[in-house]
Amino acid sequence: MTLKIAIAQSSPHNGPLKISPEDMQSPSYNVFSNIIQNLSIISRAAEDAKAQGDAELVAFPEYFTQGSLDGRSYLAEPAAWILEYLQNLAERLDISIAGTIVELEDSSFTASQPQVSPFGSSDNNAASQNVWTQFIRREYPEISNTDQLGNGENNLDHHRSNEKKDLPSSYSSEIVSGSASAAAASADAGMERDKKLINVAYFIQGGTGEIIGRYVKKNLWISEREYLHPGIDDHSVFTWNGITVGFLICWDLAHPLAAQALAKRGVDLIIVPTYWLETDSQPSSDAFDPPKDYEYNLLQSLSYTRAFETETALVMCNAGPGVAPGLMGGSGVWMPFKGKLKGQDLVAQRREKEGGDDATELCGYEVDLGLLPVARETYKIREDWKAQLEAEKE
């Protein structure tokens, strides 16, 4: 069986870390303008993937709709409306969509939100956007704290610091805000939020818009542990077009047991939305003078290794160069016997003709899953794992 898969290596726009009180009170200000930019890029990529590559699936990076949420937890509030937008897009274009959305773990908080989408195209959309902006102003007064104004749109805040960051056991206003100073502002304002955030990968089926796959990221990158909570459920798989599919997200790639858990459930295709930066190991690695492409090569090696040891096709989509420094790309498809597949640029001609500042790289791949049974018979890795488990039970 051969799949047609597109990888949209986009460069997500980040929201501001701080917003002036004047902007927050302005009827024309849109607090989710970065999400709207990203959704526009996503729509164009999905349209091109279908029209130019006849793709059945388009895979996007981690944080592809909201950008980095480090210090920007307010961007998780409209998660349900982002998901609805993507479902409508997948249904309209008849193309499946895979990527991640950061959302509130406790859905009961959504009851107090505006019950209207900030991403619609109706005539009253400006009014709905203003309602959302005022909601965010009330719920997150710390982002308009005049003591620390500054846009910070291109700040990635994803690198490792020298501080030890364990997985959070509780969720305070300090974790929600992403910084101690912002937490203090929340406390001064009388805020007592307990809004836990989770990073969720979704697989939305083309033609129906149905959510057929969902996974909460279990292995959080160091800086993510300040504001995200890890998933606790076991890795699971789902069926799409007769294929067994599973998710990993970014730092999951560094944990072999995560991929093995999917292999033990018979996975054929692993999708890995990723937000891996060339600066992730800094400043710890600086003293050892690592090669400039150290992180890039590490990500490539892990992708190939996970595909080989699980005897699967692995689709990794990393955020690519463009909007902010540190983004490095390197997306692709890896398989046993093949290594990294060669893709076809689906938008080169249009980009050359139209120009513009859309940094998205869209590549199409024909993925022959027929080689997987041969690889499994050749290497017998899954067979060995199964034998080891049975031996341990005796």
> Tell me, what CATH number does 99's domain have?
3.60.110.10
Write out pLDDT tens, residues 25-43.
888 899 999 999 999 999 9
Residue 177 has pLDDT above 90, yes or no: no
pLDDT at position 191, please? 39
Rg from Cα positions in the chain: 21
Task: Give the pairing type, strands 57-59 and 2-9.
Answer: parallel
Block residue for tokens 């005796």? 394
Cβ atoms of residues 103 and 197 within 8 Å: yes
Asked which of 142-156, 197-211, 307-321, 322-336 is least confident by mean pLDDT, the reply is 142-156
Residue 203 has pLDDT above 50, yes or no: yes
* Mean pLDDT confidence for 60-77: 96
Write out pLDDT tens, residues 334-363.
999 999 999 999 987 666 666 555 679 999
The boundaries of the domain holding residue 195 are 2-393
Asked which of 19-23, 127-131, 212-216 is least confident by mean pLDDT, the reply is 127-131
Cα–Cα dist 77/87, whole Å: 18
Average pLDDT, the chain: 87
Q: Binning pLDDT at 50, 70 and 90, where does residue 150 land?
A: very low
How many domains does the structure of the chain reveal? 1
Residue 117 has pLDDT above 50, yes or no: yes
Residue 60 has pLDDT above 70, yes or no: yes
Q: Binning pLDDT at 50, 70 and 90, where does residue 264 land?
A: very high
Asked which of 122-136, 251-265, 305-319, 364-378 is least confident by mean pLDDT, the reply is 122-136
Residue 326 has pLDDT above 60, yes or no: yes
Cα–Cα dist 334/338, whole Å: 7
Cα–Cα dist 22/356, whole Å: 31
Cβ atoms of residues 236 and 246 within 8 Å: yes
Q: How many CB atoms lie within 10 A of CB 384?
A: 10
Name the DSSP letter for residue 253: G
pLDDT at position 337, please? 97
Q: Binning pLDDT at 50, 70 and 90, where does residue 210 land?
A: very high
Q: Which residues contact 23 (CB under 8 A, 6 or more apart)?
A: 29, 144
pLDDT at position 28, please? 86
Q: Binning pLDDT at 50, 70 and 90, where does residue 258 land?
A: very high
pLDDT at position 125, please? 74
Residue 153 has pLDDT above 90, yes or no: no
Task: Give the pairing type, strands 243-247 and 269-274.
Answer: parallel
